Amino acid sequence: METELFIGGKWVPASSGNRFDVLDPATGDTVASVADGGETDAIAAVDAAAAAGPAWAATPPRVRGEVLRKAFELMTERAAELARLISLENGKALTDAKGEVTYAAEFFRWFAEEAVRGEGIATTAPSGANKILVVRQPVGVCVLVTPWNFPAAMATRKIGPALAAGCTVILKPASDTPLTALAMAAILAEAGVPEGVVNVLPSRSSGAVVGRMLRDSRVRKLSFTGSTEVGRILLAQAAENVVNTSMELGGNAPFVVFADADLDAAIEGAMLAKMRNGGEACTAANRFFVESSVAPEFSRRLAARMSQLVVGPGTDEKTQVGPLVNEDTVAKVDSLVKGAIDAGAEAITGGARPEGTGFYYPPTVLTGVAADSPILREEIFGPVAPIVTFTGEAEAVRLANDTEYGLVAYVYTADIGRGMRVSEAIEAGMVGLNRGLVSDPAAPFGGVKQSGIGREGGHDGLLEYLESKYIAVNW
């Protein structure tokens, strides 16, 4: 298990000699000590990426694609060990971790195929005066900042299109989960990525390190996945050098259940949308809006399913819900639930943090939640389902849109016409209609409002790393 910085194709210590500990969320014990990169290391990574840029951009797209294909194959071969590593530093159940590895590897396979599809256009100007030729060129050196909740998938979702487009990258992983990112660097090097094309910079000084790279004129792209609060800061910093940005920010997903919905399917979808990754996902169902006539039955059945989940260390094969990632996260979830209960909500399962070691919180269902409750305003990032009732389609849409976020929404109804109307009316970049899962490497992932800018995945994901150059020419 590599624990140094990965810069210019080599494993190197931090220039300061500093290191930081990575903790097991199940016990609070130290898993490993990792090199703590600083601003000097950040510029060294930019140096390496800039030096490798021209040759990688000139590499034939098919060759770039084959490298990504090899990385996909290596990830698939090592899925079990990667899943265990994710569980160890992130806390998620092995089942979730295995699913993440499969999902993460698929981005390399998808963009291996997309590498040859950076098409331009050639046409005649309407006036007939000249030809219009548009070519696609790599944007350049990219800084990629990833969160802790999907340490493999968020890395491959950015690295894959960047490399396919001919860009070089510096990956800054979350300090809670740097080990998976370093493992990805080793896999990419083995797959044939040239020195300097991929650099990985773990650091506890995230703001200073990323800010320093954004002030370097050689950096032309920032792709960030994380909180809206941090995203706003990075957008301001990127504006100083007019850096191209992609932002996948916070979510506050509504899960809308109409009275005519297939409740069996709605419960299955709710379990997937809420409990994937233990609720620590930007796509997690955060606010449950259930038509009043079916709300009691839906609530009872959801609580019954949630209460049966096995909570324990993520690395235990029997575990279905692991610990949350750190103390701050579990304390926030506990505070939100206590606030809702104090305001009149009822926890019909869960609702209190257990005693003992580890950052655990039980699967929780809250009923009687007021529509203006603070728990509905924040991204919970935990295994908690607050349920609010509604009485009609217009009210459901109004409640779903009553948030500054707009990443994803879920809608369950047997009336496909209503399903499409509501899907179009809800302000979100993605909608799961009678589905509890929307993420797919072949589809554009991203939000509206305060949930972000740009798209990842699909053909759109490749275009985020390409610039269009127009050439006016006669022939």
Single out the residue of 72, 9, 20 nearest to residue 45, CA to CA.
9
CB atoms within 10 A of CB 391: 11
The two structure tokens encoding residue 109: 């396979």
Q: Is 248 a catalytic residue?
A: yes
CB atoms within 10 A of CB 471: 12
**CA atoms of 319 and 457, how far apart (whole Å):** 30
**CA atoms of 228 and 447, how far apart (whole Å):** 12
Single out the residue of 265, 232, 236, 264 nearest to residue 249, CA to CA.
232
Directed axis angle between helix 263-275 and helix 295-307, to 10°? 50
Task: Report the alpha-carbon angle 409-411-413, nearest 5.
Answer: 175
Directed axis angle between helix 61-77 and helix 94-114, to 10°? 160
Are 153 and 43 in contact by the 8 Å Cβ rule? The answer is no
**CA atoms of 78 and 92, how far apart (whole Å):** 18
Give me the residues paired with residue 170 across strands. Answer: 143, 199
451 Cβ contact list (under 8 Å, min separation 6):
228, 248, 249, 250, 251, 282, 405, 406, 407, 428, 429
Q: Is 424 a catalytic residue?
A: no
Are 5 and 13 in contact by the 8 Å Cβ rule? The answer is yes
Cα-Cα-Cα-Cα dihedral of 187, 192, 197, 202, to 10°?
20
Check 114, 167, 280, 282 and give the catalytic one: 282
Check 248, 280, 291, 464 and give the catalytic one: 248
- The SS3 of residue 97 is helix
Which of the residues are catalytic?
A: 248, 282
